[in-house]
Chain A
């Protein structure tokens, strides 16, 4: 069955620390990959996406993610977090063709201490 795993459910970091959030998926074909952020009380915003090409994807707000096909992973990184990065982060996967249906991970709640 198709699935997405986000192993870190809660992460607490101090400002300026580096961030890496894990995302692993289970799917037998070619995929598109997404990271979304949801700030407290706000709606989902797209951070970055991977469709094809360079497996290192840069997104908004200094975030990046690397698609490692052999590991079925799409980990999110940021070299130096800020207090304003406190939010919930969701990884999502969809088949590259034939559907728009996403499979979401369970989310990672990040708290950045000032």
Chain B
């Protein structure tokens, strides 16, 4: 299967700061990437669809000014959590689409103190 990486795997930041999470498809080009948020013991919640070269499409209830997504190339999408608050602490997962399915990254655990 295809390989998708995320960086960092864990990050701790102070309230009010911004954090950037990178998602890379390592062995294929992905025109579409997805960003999910997973709460403890819960399913994945789709946050947004990231399209290369265009604006991301956000799901209802997700603040686009808070969760900035940039898909600058066919192998890289970034999620920036701006002015982070403790309630933004979560597990963020990206995926890259290709060959009819999504390939998931290992996730990034964000803790906001």
Residue positions of A touching B, CB distance < 8 A: 32, 34, 36, 42-44, 46, 49, 51, 90, 94, 100-102, 104-107, 109
For window 45-91 of chain B, which residues contact chain A by CB distance below 8 Å?
Answer: 46, 49
Question: Nearest chain A CB to B8's CB is how many angstroms away?
Answer: 14
B101 within 8 A of A: yes
CB–CB A49/B101 < 8 A: yes
Q: Give chain B's interface secondary structure class.
A: strand
Q: Does B104 contact A (CB under 8 A)?
A: yes
Nearest Cβ on chain B to A87's Cβ, whole angstroms: 12
If A43-B93, A44-B93, A46-B1 touch, whether A102 touches B43 (CB-CB below 8 Å) is no
Q: A44-B93, A46-B1, A100-B32 are in contact. Are A106 and B100 (CB under 8 A)?
A: no
Query: What are 22 of the A-B contact pairs (CB < 8 Å)?
Result: A32-B100, A32-B101, A36-B104, A43-B104, A43-B106, A44-B93, A44-B104, A46-B1, A51-B100, A90-B44, A100-B97, A101-B34, A101-B49, A102-B34, A102-B46, A102-B102, A104-B43, A104-B46, A105-B43, A106-B43, A107-B42, A109-B41
Q: Which residues in window 13-44 of B have CB below 8 A to A?
A: 32, 34, 41-44
Q: Which of A32, A46, A90, A100 contacts B34 (CB 8 A)?
A: A100
Q: Which residue of B lies closest to A100 (CB)?
A: B97
CB atoms of B101 and A104 under 8 A apart: no
Residues of chain B within 8 A (CB-CB) of A44 are 44, 93, 104
B interface residues (Cβ-Cβ under 8 A, vs A): 1, 32, 34, 41-44, 46, 49, 93, 97, 100-102, 104-107
> B65: shortest Cβ distance to chain A, in Å?
23
Closest residue on chain B to residue A46 by CB atoms? B1
Which of A32, A94, A101 counts the most B-chain CB atoms under 10 A from its CB?
A: A101
